[in-house]
Amino acid sequence: PMGGGKGGSDFDPRGKSEAEVMRFCQSFMNELFRHIGPDTDVPAGDLGVGAREIGFMFGQYKRLINRFEGVFTGKGFNWGGSRMRPEATGFGATYFLQEMLKTKNQSLEGKTVAVSGFGNVAWGVVQKVGQLGGKVVTISGPDGFIYDKDGVVGAEKVEYMREMRASGRDRAQDYADKFGVEFHAGKRPWGVKCDIAMPCATQNEVDENDAKALVKSGCKCLCEVANMPLTLEAMKVIIESGILYAPGKAANAGGVGCSGLEMTQNSMRMHWASEEVDQKLHGIMVSIHDLCRQASEEYYGKSDNYVGGANIAGFKKVADAMIDQGVI
């Protein structure tokens, strides 16, 4: 139901006090408020922007226009946010992955998954992969990655990922120290033997050599969860290898999908239970997966070209709307 875009600032919150972050967010909103609204553009969180920053901006927006609207998503649950919003991107990508595997008569049961990052996105993936029977064996940070042969599973480990993020230390080694697992300083997890790779950290985190390492390690499926985590060279290696490949523009839509659900709850003045949000999110991701396959089949003669299918399905939706509305 929504389009999408990107925007932000070059303010780096690292090393800043909470008061400094708040003053920046308020100043930013003093200008941005003219350009946003529930029926125009709706900002949400991303890199460096979590519930705290959304709260500061939302509070200033309310002071400026004196209205409560669903104009921000990713809000705190106590002031208009939705259940499951923090983990929605990771949950959604895992649902997309599940649908891909179904087309090959497979499931996540018993699969080992290499994940990068340890923020909200990776946290969501770890939870949902575990619920569906898989095992995440790596998470990473700027300092390197950990390898947990028993899997990042169980309430204690999953909850500790949240504590790591909240600490602001940005160190994957903390997990290794607490649970006594392997830590590989200054390295990325893509050489680890795995069935599935799910990059969850940042743009261009997987380069050509990483992609070759994944192929060599026996990876059979790669699902982009971060925004554009593969370089063009890495993408070429993955596609040519025949690895089942889900592009982020489709697979990571769970975050914006849940943003839409948050806006719906705001407009209805309601809060849905986590189970209801999860059910609706699952339906959104199944629909996106099916649209990709349909476009792939129609234009490429095969249904598993998810990159081409996602590109064409997205383009056609915009182009058809423009034509129908008399723009061209």
Residue ranges, comma separated, of all CATH 3.40.50.720 domains in the chain are 84-322
Query: What pLDDT is stored for residue 14 in this prediction?
Result: 85
Give the three-class secondary structure for 268. Answer: helix
Strand-pair category, 196-198 with 112-115: parallel
Query: What pLDDT is stored for residue 328 in this prediction?
Result: 63
**Residue of 6, 102, 104, 302 with catalytic role:** 6
Q: How far is CA 122 from CA 49, 143, 173, 266, 319, in A?
A: 16, 16, 16, 27, 33
DSSP code at position 246: E
Residue ranges, comma separated, of all CATH 3.40.50.10860 domains in the chain are 10-81
Give me the amino acid identity at 136: V
112: enclosing H helix or E strand = strand 112-115
Query: What pLDDT is stored for residue 69 in this prediction?
Result: 77
Tell which residue, 123, 91, 122, has the closest CA to residue 108: 91
Q: Which CATH architecture fits 10-81? A: 3-Layer(aba) Sandwich (3.40)
Q: Which CATH architecture fits 84-322? A: 3-Layer(aba) Sandwich (3.40)
> What is the rounded CA–CA span in Å between residue 210 and residue 190?
6
> What is the rounded CA–CA span in Å between residue 194 and residue 134?
11
Instruction: Determine how many CB atoms are found less than 10 A away from the CB of residue 234.
Output: 23
> What is the rounded CA–CA span in Å between residue 188 and residue 274?
33
Burial label, 300 (beta-carbon count in 10 A; 0-12, 13-18, 19+): middle
> What is the rounded CA–CA span in Å between residue 28 and residue 91?
31
Contacts of 72 (CB under 8 A, 6+ apart): 42, 43, 44, 54, 57, 58, 61
> What is the rounded CA–CA span in Å between residue 269 and residue 287?
26
Q: Which two tokens stand for residue 252?
A: 């990571």
Place of tokens 């948050």: 262
Predicted TM-score of the model (pTM): 0.93
Would you say 197 and 191 are in contact if contact means Cβ atoms under 8 Å apart? no
Averages of pLDDT over each 10 residues, the chain, 328 residues: 80 93 98 91 87 95 89 91 94 98 98 96 97 98 97 95 86 96 98 98 97 97 97 98 97 94 92 97 98 97 96 94 86
Strand-pair category, 135-141 with 144-147: antiparallel
Mark whether 102 is an active-site residue.
no
Q: Which two tokens stand for residue 147?
A: 């390898």
Query: What pLDDT is stored for residue 1 in this prediction?
Result: 62
> What is the rounded CA–CA span in Å between residue 252 and residue 92?
6
> What is the rounded CA–CA span in Å between residue 223 and residue 150?
22
Query: What pLDDT is stored for residue 170 in this prediction?
Result: 84
Q: Which two tokens stand for residue 98?
A: 């599940």
> What is the rounded CA–CA span in Å between residue 121 and residue 135?
16
296: enclosing H helix or E strand = helix 274-300
